[in-house]
Structures are given as structure tokens and as C-alpha cells.
């Protein structure tokens, strides 16, 4: 089974530019999450999709961030325009649909996309 795939693995952009991060979850996983870790700090929740619907986007920092999940499959996270404080590692994670089993408790993470804004 393929894992969660994220790309690019590393992106270096200048302040004011736009970056789009992509996540391909495990096939069949309804839940898709975006998290961010700023250096040395906690892995912070950004938002949660259930299929193509945004279940919770309370962690999105501001309206410069836009997440989409086309057809309930892959997801993109766009930052426009990027600011210095957006630098960090962006993780995507997925989990199965919540049901009788405990599978929905287990988040499978991608390797992350490291964003550096200069």
C-alpha cells in the first residue's frame, strides 16, 4: 500500500511569491489533515477534510492560505502571498473513515514539505 505522498519536499521562495503544496493521501482514506511545524514548536493543526468537504479549518492562520481537495482525492495547500512567518514544515496526514474500528485514530503522515520563505 502506497503511503501519503507530499511534494515538493522542499520549496524556497521569496516573500510575496506563491507556493502550492500537494498531498496524495492513502487511497480510500476519507480523512485528510494538514498540519504545520514551525522550527522547534508543536505540530499544529491547520485543517481537516472529510472527503472533499472542509470539516474544520479553524487552524488556518489567515486568508493567505487556501486548501482544496479535489473530488475527495488529493489536496493542495496554496500560500499567496507568502510571508516570512509561513516558513516551516507542512505535513499532510490521512486516516480511514471513522467507524466501528479504530483505524480512524491512526494518522498516517507524509514526509512533509519544507517551506522556506526568504
Partner 1 sequence: QQQVKQSPQSLIVQKGGISIINCAYENTAFDYFPWYQQFPGKGPALLIAIRPDVSEKKEGRFTISFNKSAKQFSLHIMDSQPGDSATYFCAARGNNFNKFYFGSGTKLNVKP
Residues that bind partner 1 (CB under 8 A): 4, 31, 33, 35, 37, 40-45, 48, 50, 55-56, 91, 93, 95, 98, 104-112
Q: How far is the CB of 17 from partner 1 (least distance, A)?
A: 25
- Output 49 or 65, the one with its CB closest to partner 1: 49
**b/e per residue 21-54 (b: at least 16 CB within 10 A):** bbbbbbeebbbbbbbbeeeeeeeeebbbbeeeee
Q: How far is the CB of 45 from partner 1 (least distance, A)?
A: 6
- Output 9 or 18, the one with its CB closest to partner 1: 9
- Output 81 or 103, the one with its CB closest to partner 1: 103
Q: How far is the CB of 86 from partner 1 (least distance, A)?
A: 19
Q: How far is the CB of 81 from partner 1 (least distance, A)?
A: 27
H/E element, 36 = strand 31-37
> DSSP 3-state helix, strand, coil percentages of the chain (rounded to 5)?
10, 50, 45
Residue 44 to residues 41, 61, 66, 116, Cα–Cα distance (Å):
8, 11, 16, 17
- Output 10 or 15, the one with its CB closest to partner 1: 10
Amino acid at each position: 500500500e502506497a503511503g501519503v505522498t507530499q511534494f515538493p519536499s522542499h520549496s524556497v521562495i521569496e516573500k510575496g511569491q506563491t507556493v502550492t503544496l500537494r498531498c496524495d493521501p492513502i487511497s480510500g482514506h476519507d480523512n485528510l489533515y494538514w498540519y504545520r511545524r514551525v522550527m522547534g514548536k508543536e505540530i499544529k493543526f491547520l485543517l481537516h477534510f472529510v472527503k472533499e468537504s472542509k470539516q474544520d479549518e479553524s487552524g488556518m492562520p489567515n486568508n493567505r492560505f487556501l486548501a482544496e481537495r479535489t473530488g475527495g482525492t488529493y489536496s493542495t495547500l496554496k500560500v499567496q502571498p507568502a510571508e516570512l512567518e509561513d516558513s516551516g514544515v507542512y505535513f499532510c496526514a490521512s486516516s480511514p473513515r471513522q467507524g466501528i474500528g479504530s483505524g480512524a485514530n491512526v494518522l498516517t503522515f507524509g514526509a512533509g514539505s519544507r517551506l522556506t520563505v526568504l
